[in-house]
Amino acid sequence: MSERVMLMVYCYDVAQDRTRARVAHLLEDHAVRVQDSVFEMRLTQAAANRLYRAIVRLLDDGDMLRMYAIGAAAFPRCQSYGGSPIAGDTASWIV
């Protein structure tokens, strides 16, 4: 697996308040919240997959989770208005 760091975006739709709070807390430990249920951070693919699996273990039937990887070639084309800036090279976490 590649050790390249990519911008990873996690977004979810979770029905139960308790489960939603657990998912949010886990992501808050590693990522920047950019909307209520959208988080981003810079991780390697391996670290991103570990975090994805940890979140999936918290989810109930009917809940949804998406993880998007934005590589170096696409990163310069990302845009943001308001809120936190898009996680750059200085915002890296190892999970």
Q: What is the pLDDT of residue 88?
A: 65
In CATH, which of 3.40.50.300, 1.10.10.10, 3.40.50.2300, 3.30.70.240 is domain 5-77?
Answer: 3.30.70.240
71 vs 50, which has greater pLDDT?
50
Share of the chain above pLDDT 70, in %: 88
Contact between 88 and 39 (Cβ < 8 Å): no
Q: Mean pLDDT over residues 36-55, rounded?
A: 94
The dihedral built from the CA positions of residue 74, 75, 77 and 80, taken in this order, carries a sign that is positive
On the question of pLDDT at 58 being above 90, the answer is yes
C-alpha to C-alpha distance for 51 and 83, rounded to whole angstroms? 24
Tell me the two tokens of residue 39. 């988080």
Sheet architecture: strand order including 32-35: 32-35, 38-44, 5-13, 64-70
* Domain definitions of the chain by residue range: 5-77
On whether the CB atoms of residues 26 and 54 are closer than 8 A, the answer is yes
